[in-house]
Structure 1
C-alpha cells in the first residue's frame, strides 16, 4: 500500500477514536482493547493512537515503536474487505467527467479496491442491470466504519424523504454533508480534512429517485450511469415520506447491498501545496540538523575542489 493511502486510513481511524460518537464509529473495534469484562477501553486506545509518529518514522523505526501500537496499525491498515489506492485526478475525470464539478475539485482522489469476495457479490447482484454513479457525504469520523462495514441505511440521520442512504449526483450539494473534521495531527494531509465518497448504485426499484435525475440533463449524470427513462418505473415517492417526492439530483437507497463506494475525494483546507511538497516539508522539519550538516559538507567539498591545484589548472 502506498504511503498516502495508509496515512488516510489511519487518519479516518484517529478521527473515529476522538469522536464523541466513538462507540458507534469505531466499528469494527480492535479486540486487543476490549477488557476481560467486555468493556471497550477507549482511554487506552486513544493513548496508543496519540503515540503514533508520522508513518515515515514508523517505517524507518518500526523496531522502536511499542508492540501495541504496531499491532493496532497492522489491524487498521490491513482490512479484509478493501484497500485504498491513490489515483490521479485526471484518471477519475476521464471516467466520470460530467459528475466532477470544476468548481469543487478535490485535492486528492483514492480508489476503493474491494476484496474479491465482496466484488463478486456485488457483480452477481448487479447482473445485467445498469450502474448509477452519485456522491455520498458524511463526517470524517464516520469513514472508518463506512469503509469497513459499508453504507448502512438505518444509521443515516437524514430521513426527510424516508429511511435510506442518501446520495446526489451534484457534488456541490453533497459537500454540505461533508464538513471539515479533525483527523490525525501527524498526517501528511494536515489535521483538518473533508471527504466525499463517489458511489456505484445498481439500478433497482429500491434505489428511489426522480427519473429526471437519471436523464443526464445539464450534465448531471455520467454517460456510464445514464439510463433510458422508458426502462425505469417512476419511483420518486417513499411511503411515509415527510418531504413528498424525492427532488431531482437526489437518490435514496433502501437496500444497503445495492450501493458501494468506488472512490474517495479528499479535501485538505489547511494547505494548497501538493502532496509531494507536503511530504518534503515534513521530512525537512524532522531532519533539520542532518540537512544542515549535509549542506555544510557540500560547501566544504566545493570550496576544497575550487582551491585545488587540479581545478586551477
Structure 2
C-alpha cells in the first residue's frame, strides 16, 4: 500500500509539473501572439507614413531627454511606472536601444526574434499606435506654399524642410468640441512657436498656458500671423539621433483660431522709426506698405486654438552631410573642421597645450640659441644665392 501511495504521489506531482509547464507555455504563447499583433500594427504605421512616424517618435524622445520631463513627457508610458514613480532610467535605456526605424521594419519580419526586442516593440507601439490621436500626415513639398499662405503673412516666410498635417478623427471629443466652439464664428490662422520638447505634450493635450512664458503682456497662448516673429520662440533641440528627418529640430505650429473677441487680446506693435512700422491709435494693427496687419494674438482661452500643421526646420541628416562633404573639392578641410566641431573639448585642450608649448619654447635659452644659429644659416644661404 505504501508503495502504491508513493506511485500515486509521484504521478500527482508529475501531473502538477506538466500543468504548470503547460500554463507557462500558454502565457509565453499569449505574449508572443501579442507581440506579433503589435508588430503588425507597427509595420502598418511605419509603411503608411514613415516620416510622420519618425517625427512623432523624435518628439517623444526630445521630451524624454528633457530635464523638464515632468511637464513635457505627458502622457507618460504606463509600463515604466513603478509603484507610482516614473522609472526614467529604464525608459531612457530602452530609448537608447531603439535602432533606426528602417531597421526596426526589418526586425519585425523575424517573428522568432520578437521576444528579444519586446521592450522596444512595446514602447514604439505605445507612442506610434496607442497614442493614435491626433495623427500626423506628411504634406507634399509642392503644397508647402499653399499652407504657408493660410496665415496671410506680410513678409516672405522662411520655408521649412517638412510640413506635417495634424488630423483628429471626426468623431473624436476634440473635433466635436471644436465644431461646437467655432459655430457662428469666423476662424483664422496664426503661428505659434515653442520649445521642441514641449510639442509631444502639445500634440496630445493641445496648447496650454503653462507651457508658455509669462510676460508683461499677460498670460495666454501667444500667436502671430508673421512666421518670422514666431521662429525666434521656437527653440531648437536635439530629438532622436537616428531620425531620417534630422537630429536637431525646430518646430512651429500653424494654428486655426476661433475669432471670438472674449478670448483673444490683439496686441499693437512697438513703433520703430525707419522700419516701416508705426502705431495707429484707432486700431491694433501694423501697417506695412499701406496695409494693416495684427502683429500678435494672446489667446486666453486655449479651447479656441487647435494645431492644424507642424512646420519642421531640420538640420541636414548626417548621411547627407557626409555625402556632400565628399563631393566638395575642399572635403579634407571641411572634414577636419567637422572633426574639431564634434570634439570641442579635445580641441580646446590641444590648443591650450600648443599655447603652453609655444610660451615655453619662447622663454627657453637653448631653444633661442638654436633659433639664432638656424636663422644665421638661412641668411648665409640666401646671401650665397644672391651672389
| Global fold match (TM > 0.5) | yes
Tell me if structure 1 keeps the 8 A contact 2:244–2:317: no
Query: Residue 262 of structure 1: CA displacement?
Result: 0.2
Question: Aligned residue for 1:162?
Answer: 218
Larger Rg, first or second structure (1 or 2): 2
Tell me if structure 2 keeps the 8 A contact 1:99–1:219: no
Tell me if structure 2 keeps the 8 A contact 1:169–1:220: no
| Aligned partner of residue 201 in structure 1, secondary structure | strand
Q: What TM-score do the two structures reach when normalised by structure 2?
A: 0.60
Q: Where does the alignment leave 5 or more consecutive residues of structure 1 unmatched?
A: 222-247, 279-313
Tell me if structure 2 keeps the 8 A contact 1:137–1:178: yes
Question: Aligned residue for 1:260?
Answer: 306
Larger displacement relative to structure 2 (61-70 or 179-188): 61-70
Q: Within the alignment, does 1:74 sit opposite 2:122 as a pair?
A: no
Query: CA-atom RMSD, angstroms?
Result: 2.6
Question: Aligned residue for 2:52?
Answer: 5
Q: Deviations over 1:140-192 (max 9, x none)?
A: 11111110111111332233211101111111111101122001010001211
Tell me if structure 1 keeps the 8 A contact 2:154–2:288: no
Question: Aligned residue for 2:135?
Answer: 83
Question: Aligned residue for 1:230?
Answer: none
Among 186, 193, 196, the alignment partner of 1:137 is 193
Q: How many angstroms apart in 1 are the aligned matches of 2:166 and 2:229? A: 22
Tell me if structure 2 keeps the 8 A contact 1:158–1:166: no
Runs of 4+ in structure 1 over 3 Å off: 98-103, 210-221, 270-274
Q: How many angstroms apart in 2 are the aligned matches of 1:200 and 1:216? A: 24
Query: Residue 207 of structure 1: CA displacement?
Result: 1.4
Number of residue pairs matched by the alignment: 249
Q: How many angstroms apart in 2 are the aligned matches of 1:173 and 1:26? A: 27
Matches within 5 A, 1:1-313: 1-35=48-82, 37-62=83-108, 63=111, 64=113, 66-78=117-129, 79-97=131-149, 98-99=152-153, 102-116=156-170, 117=172, 118-205=174-261, 206-210=263-267, 212-213=284-285, 248-270=294-316
Q: What TM-score do the two structures reach when normalised by structure 1?
A: 0.73
C-alpha spacing 1:42/1:125, structure 2 compared with 1 (3 Å): same
Question: Aligned residue for 1:285?
Answer: none
| Aligned partner of residue 194 in structure 1, secondary structure | strand
| Aligned partner of residue 4 in structure 1, secondary structure | helix
Q: How many angstroms apart in 1 are the aligned matches of 2:97 and 2:231? A: 32
Considering Cα pairs closer than 8 Å and 6+ residues apart, tell me whether 1 or 2 has the greater RCO.
1
Question: Aligned residue for 1:225?
Answer: none
Tell me if structure 1 keeps the 8 A contact 2:157–2:227: no
